[in-house]
Chain A
Amino acid sequence: MSLELVWFILAGAALAAYIVLDGFDLGVGIVHRFVAVTPAERRLTMASIGPVWDGNEVWLLAAGATLLLAFPKLYAVGVGGFYLPVQILLWLYLGRGLGIEMKHHHVGGPLWDELWDSVFSVSSLLIALFLGLALGNVVRGVSFDERGRFFAPLWTDLLPTSEKVGILDVYTLVVGATAAAGLALHGALWLAHRTEGDVAVRSADLAKRLCFATALFAAITSAATLAVQPLVFEVARERPWALLFPAASFAAIAVCWVEVRRRRSERAFFASAAFLVAMFATAAATLYPRLLPSAPGAPSEGITVSNAATTEYALSVGLVWWIPGILLATTYFVRNYRRLPRRLRLEDLEEHQ
């Protein structure tokens, strides 16, 4: 296995960890206002992610910096080209962090709480949408110029086939909606198996509908991808084993559906995690060895693992500390999650929190 492939897998794994971990706390944000009604219930949903959301977000930083380390050209051209959505996404993270912090300090009266509940929910929803848009943009590709760079406008004519594509088009919006539904499902299932009482019941009920919506959107996304990205057929011919990933994602969402109906929320939660990972792996396996392909409208080589990777020395010396480091980080996570209360109850909350 080449070093480039090793780093492709490692960076992908860090991103997948981010999607699954921050995914559920983003999802909690999306469903927060629907499944928690009273102020106490809203404190409960917040408390269920309180000890972990910040650490979950660190996976995004770690994955971003890992891409810079291993594939500097991807990081540079990608983040530079997606300048506007990246900055807007950062503002959303900022707003969301602020919302959580303000709820936590519990400063003002009911209006104040209402405001920050909404900031938390809306920013969570928009972040989930943006993450989907990002994936959609990467799968569809971007319009590189003759120097191999690009600047993506927020939208052009909303068509994935145009000569100069934007961040928003009908295809990326479908992927964005899939991500929003999938993360909302993931978050609802977290609440369903990690809290007790009305919040858990409402979350489990909502999860049923979200599971249906997610499966539907995922199917539409798959069909749309076949229409937008011709690479898919090429990959299916060249390495048919890659088809295992989409198959796994549909199996996972089916299992999730069954478990949700049987009200086994914990299993359903792991199924939704598997679904998210399999969807992401499908995209990664389809693209490899490309990291950022060219949009169909104006083909070029795009960014690939070989033209973006740094030197062999840097890649191999990086492995020496990256792998033990990430294993160490994983032990903190396992430890912290193990020690969370199995199910959080309203009575556990502090009066002044």
Chain B
Amino acid sequence: MDAFTLHRLHFAFTITYHYLFPQLTMGLGLYIVIFKILQVRRKDEVAGDVARFLSRIFGLNFAMGVVTGLPMEFQFGAGWSRFSEAAGGVIGQTLAMEGVFAFFLESSFLYLLLFGEKRLSPRAHLGAAVLVFLGSWLSGWFIIVTNAWMQHPVGHEVKADGTVILTSLGEYLTNPWAFWQYLHTMLGSVVTASFVVASVGAFYLLSGRHEAHAKKLLSIAVPVGLAACILVAFPAGDAQAKMVAKHQPVTFAAMEGHFHTEDGAGLVLIGQPNMETLTLDNPIVLPRFLSFMTHQRWDTRIEGLTSYDRSRWPDNVPLLYFAYHVMVGLGTIFIGLMSLSALQLFRKRLFQTRILLWGLMLALPLPYIANTAGWLTAELGRQPWLIYDVMRTRDGYTLEVSSGNVLFTLLGYMGLYAVLSLIFFALALRILRAGPEIAPPKGSTAPAGGET
């Protein structure tokens, strides 16, 4: 493999692995706040136990996010130095904001959340939970603004030597692309957290342990999860797809598997892109639906992939197509599963409906796959550009680093992350086994204080 491919693989591997953790913690932060509010407002001690239990899961995932996130901060320079040199003056703003506003906040209050419960008043402890939640969602905002700018650059100017300079911080921070992408991403994170919380609840209920806590977990995770599953698709996902159709029409055609221009284009449900014949094998298509969903008219023309110059095509059309369809397909399953669960919960029968509990329990890995597929869609869809219409990916990697050296560090990360995964599972199982009925830690070393 050449250095370019290895650099791409290196970034893709490290970022994909990293995002397994923040996608849970951001959504879980919301759940901790919800359960803390129930504890404080309604004196609900079961909710208090649940918040403490979820905080332990949060703490483990946060630590994993930190150790795998630190490398990301430096991958821009290590593997992609030509990109960093050209665009650092723009993306440096948000990456530094993330450190200054989000990471300091999170790291300063996480310890209080995890170990300060006995020394803080209940309200102050809730305050710590809110600040940690806020920190993680701020961090998400700065990263999405950075990525949105690469997808749809605004507030900048390209100089003759290829350097991209910032001309308006305001425009950069209020990129319309970032708004929908943020909403879609954060709701995706809430979907993951909902399935994790529901899955743990279902597991305890099915195994006949911690019944009161399991019911508490499920009775919040199902309605919140249903709302997130619907909202992530509509309006968030829908609006984002329309933005792709408007600003990245080539990408849109590729991810929809739409090869040839048509008036009243059909929506592909399944089928395999055949890059030799430029058609779909074994397709099932809903006629005219793509036009309707994109433009609210049954007969609008949608340009197919073949009407664009091949040099502008995303370089891996089938993978992009599958990533997008996996995300959408799983999203549809999530809405179905959560709707049925919500219906049964409303009828007060969910806790007896074993088949649904089994479904919720086994669904645990699916939102991780859906979120990963979503990011693959965004990043593969942006190809062959690193900054859309400004800088090609091929022009961004570090020329000085030879392919052997990239392979060396890629293998290093793979080995380390394999070990990390084993340890993560061992610790996660341990938290699961200990269960939600645990006393708050004494927190002797926690900074005390009541003004949060």
CB <8 Å contact, B115 and A51: yes
Would you call B365 an interface residue if the criterion is a C-beta within 8 Å of the partner chain's C-beta atoms?
A: no
User: Are A313 and B167 CB-contacts (below 8 A) given A51-B446, A72-B84?
Assistant: yes
Instruction: Count A interface residues, CB 8 Å.
Output: 71
Interface magnitude class on chain B = 35 or more
Q: Contact partner of B96 among A54, A62, A93, CB < 8 A? A: A62
User: Could you mark each residue 27-38 of chain B with 1 if its beta carbon is under 8 Å from any beta carbon of chain A, else 0?
Assistant: 000000000000
Q: List, in ascending order, chain A residues with CB within 8 A of B93's CB.
A: 69, 314, 317-318
In the bound assembly, the distance between CA atoms of A325 and B93 in angstroms comes to 12
User: Could you mark each residue 35-77 of chain A with 1 if its beta carbon is under 8 Å from any beta carbon of chain B, else 0?
Assistant: 0000000000001101110110110111011101110110111
CB <8 Å contact, B85 and A77: yes
Would you call A98 an interface residue if the criterion is a C-beta within 8 Å of the partner chain's C-beta atoms?
A: yes
Q: Chain B nearest CB: distance from A143 CB in Å? A: 12
CB <8 Å contact, B81 and A79: yes
CB <8 Å contact, A55 and B104: yes
Closest to A310 in B: B89
Q: List, in ascending order, chain B residues with CB within 8 A of A322's CB.
A: 96, 100
User: Could you mark each residue 97-128 of chain A with 1 if its beta carbon is under 8 Å from any beta carbon of chain B, else 0?
Assistant: 11001100101000000000000000000000
Q: Chain B nearest CB: distance from A151 CB in Å? A: 4
Would you call A9 an interface residue if the criterion is a C-beta within 8 Å of the partner chain's C-beta atoms?
A: no
User: Are A65 and B420 CB-contacts (below 8 A) given A76-B81, A90-B71, A332-B108?
Assistant: no
User: Are A90 and B89 CB-contacts (below 8 A) given A55-B108, A341-B444?
Assistant: no
Q: Contact partner of A340 among B82, B98, B110, B447, CB < 8 A? A: B447
User: Could you mark each residue 428-450 of chain B with 1 if its beta carbon is under 8 Å from any beta carbon of chain A, else 0?
Assistant: 00100000000001101111110
Of the stretches A174-182, A197-205, A342-350, the one at the interface is A342-350
Of the stretches B239-247, B281-289, B336-344, B394-402, the one at the interface is B394-402
Would you call B78 an interface residue if the criterion is a C-beta within 8 Å of the partner chain's C-beta atoms?
A: yes
Closest to B438 in A: A352
Q: Contact partner of B78 among A83, A149, A325, CB < 8 A? A: A83
B50-99 at interface with A (beta carbon < 8 Å): 60, 63, 66-68, 70-71, 73-74, 76-79, 81-93, 95-99
Would you call A222 an interface residue if the criterion is a C-beta within 8 Å of the partner chain's C-beta atoms?
A: no
CB <8 Å contact, B97 and A325: yes
User: Are A317 and B74 CB-contacts (below 8 A) given A48-B445, A80-B401, A322-B100?
Assistant: no
Would you call A87 an interface residue if the criterion is a C-beta within 8 Å of the partner chain's C-beta atoms?
A: yes
CB <8 Å contact, A65 and B98: yes
Q: List, in ascending order, chain A residues with CB within 8 A of B99's CB.
A: 58, 61-62, 64-66
Would you call A12 an interface residue if the criterion is a C-beta within 8 Å of the partner chain's C-beta atoms?
A: no
Q: Contact partner of A76 among B63, B88, B167, B449, CB < 8 A? A: B88
Q: List, in ascending order, chain A residues with CB within 8 A of B68's CB.
A: 94
In the bound assembly, the distance between CA atoms of A66 and B97 in angstroms comes to 9
Would you call B111 an interface residue if the criterion is a C-beta within 8 Å of the partner chain's C-beta atoms?
A: yes
CB <8 Å contact, B96 and A68: yes
CB <8 Å contact, B166 and A313: yes
Q: List, in ascending order, chain A residues with CB within 8 A of B445's CB.
A: 47-48, 50-51, 340-341, 344, 348
CB <8 Å contact, B412 and A75: no
Q: List, in ascending order, chain B residues with CB within 8 A of A339's CB.
A: 447-449
Q: Contact partner of A75 among B67, B77, B108, CB < 8 A? A: B77
Closest to B401 in A: A83
CB <8 Å contact, A332 and B92: no
Would you call B426 an interface residue if the criterion is a C-beta within 8 Å of the partner chain's C-beta atoms?
A: yes
CB <8 Å contact, A332 and B66: no
B90, B115, B444: residue with the most chain A Cβ atoms closer than 10 Å: B444
User: Are A76 and B82 CB-contacts (below 8 A) given A62-B103, A64-B74, A107-B427?
Assistant: yes
Q: List, in ascending order, chain B residues with CB within 8 A of A332's CB.
A: 104-105, 108-109
Would you call B234 an interface residue if the criterion is a C-beta within 8 Å of the partner chain's C-beta atoms?
A: no
User: Are A54 and B74 CB-contacts (below 8 A) given A62-B100, A68-B96, A314-B89?
Assistant: no
Q: Chain B nearest CB: distance from A7 CB in Å? A: 11
Q: List, in ascending order, chain B residues with CB within 8 A of A64's CB.
A: 73-74, 99
In the bound assembly, the distance between CA atoms of A77 and B83 in angstroms comes to 11
CB <8 Å contact, A98 and B423: yes
Would you call A336 an interface residue if the criterion is a C-beta within 8 Å of the partner chain's C-beta atoms?
A: yes
State the majority secondary structure of interface residues on B. Answer: helix
CB <8 Å contact, A78 and B77: yes
Would you call B405 an interface residue if the criterion is a C-beta within 8 Å of the partner chain's C-beta atoms?
A: yes
In the bound assembly, the distance between CA atoms of A98 and B107 in angstroms comes to 16
CB <8 Å contact, B108 and A336: yes
Q: List, in ascending order, chain B residues with CB within 8 A of A101's CB.
A: 60, 63, 67
Would you call B333 an interface residue if the criterion is a C-beta within 8 Å of the partner chain's C-beta atoms?
A: no
Q: List, in ascending order, chain B residues with CB within 8 A of A95's CB.
A: 416
In the bound assembly, the distance between CA atoms of A326 and B100 in angstroms comes to 6
Would you call B358 an interface residue if the criterion is a C-beta within 8 Å of the partner chain's C-beta atoms?
A: no
CB <8 Å contact, A80 and B81: yes
Would you call A353 an interface residue if the criterion is a C-beta within 8 Å of the partner chain's C-beta atoms?
A: yes
Q: List, in ascending order, chain A residues with CB within 8 A of B85's CB.
A: 72-73, 76-77
Q: Contact partner of B400 among A52, A80, A91, CB < 8 A? A: A80
CB <8 Å contact, B92 and A310: yes
Would you call B346 an interface residue if the criterion is a C-beta within 8 Å of the partner chain's C-beta atoms?
A: no
CB <8 Å contact, B84 and A65: no
Q: List, in ascending order, chain A residues with CB within 8 A of B448's CB.
A: 339
Q: Chain A nearest CB: distance from B448 CB in Å? A: 5
Would you call B212 an interface residue if the criterion is a C-beta within 8 Å of the partner chain's C-beta atoms?
A: no
Would you call B5 an interface residue if the criterion is a C-beta within 8 Å of the partner chain's C-beta atoms?
A: no
Q: List, in ascending order, chain A residues with CB within 8 A of B352's CB.
A: none
B109-131 at interface with A (beta carbon < 8 Å): 109-111, 115
In the bound assembly, the distance between CA atoms of A151 and B79 in angstroms comes to 12
Would you call B390 an interface residue if the criterion is a C-beta within 8 Å of the partner chain's C-beta atoms?
A: no
Would you call B169 an interface residue if the criterion is a C-beta within 8 Å of the partner chain's C-beta atoms?
A: yes
A61, A73, A77: residue with the most chain B Cβ atoms closer than 10 Å: A61
CB <8 Å contact, A69 and B441: no
Closest to B444 in A: A348
Q: List, in ascending order, chain A residues with CB within 8 A of B96's CB.
A: 62, 65-66, 68-69, 318, 322
Would you call A306 an interface residue if the criterion is a C-beta within 8 Å of the partner chain's C-beta atoms?
A: no
Q: List, in ascending order, chain B residues with CB within 8 A of A80's CB.
A: 77-79, 81, 84, 398, 400-401
CB <8 Å contact, B74 and A86: yes
Q: List, in ascending order, chain A residues with CB within 8 A of B98's CB.
A: 65
User: Are A75 and B84 CB-contacts (below 8 A) given A51-B111, A310-B165, A310-B166?
Assistant: yes
Would you call A212 an interface residue if the criterion is a C-beta within 8 Å of the partner chain's C-beta atoms?
A: no
Would you call B409 an interface residue if the criterion is a C-beta within 8 Å of the partner chain's C-beta atoms?
A: yes
Q: List, in ascending order, chain A residues with CB within 8 A of B308's CB.
A: none
**CB-based closest 9 A-B pairs:** A72-B88, A79-B77, A310-B89, A80-B81, A69-B92, A339-B447, A76-B85, A62-B99, A329-B104
A binding-site residues for B, Cβ under 8 Å: 47-48, 50-52, 54-55, 57-58, 60-62, 64-66, 68-70, 72-73, 75-81, 83-84, 86-87, 90-91, 93-95, 97-98, 101-102, 105, 107, 149-151, 310-311, 313-314, 317-318, 321-322, 325-326, 328-329, 332-333, 335-341, 344, 348-350, 353
What are some 13 contacts across the A-B interface (CB < 8 A)?
A: A51-B115, A55-B107, A57-B66, A62-B96, A78-B77, A79-B84, A97-B63, A310-B166, A314-B93, A317-B166, A329-B100, A338-B447, A339-B448
* Contacts A90-B71, A317-B166 known; 5 new A-B pairs at CB < 8 A: A77-B85, A80-B398, A101-B67, A325-B97, A337-B447
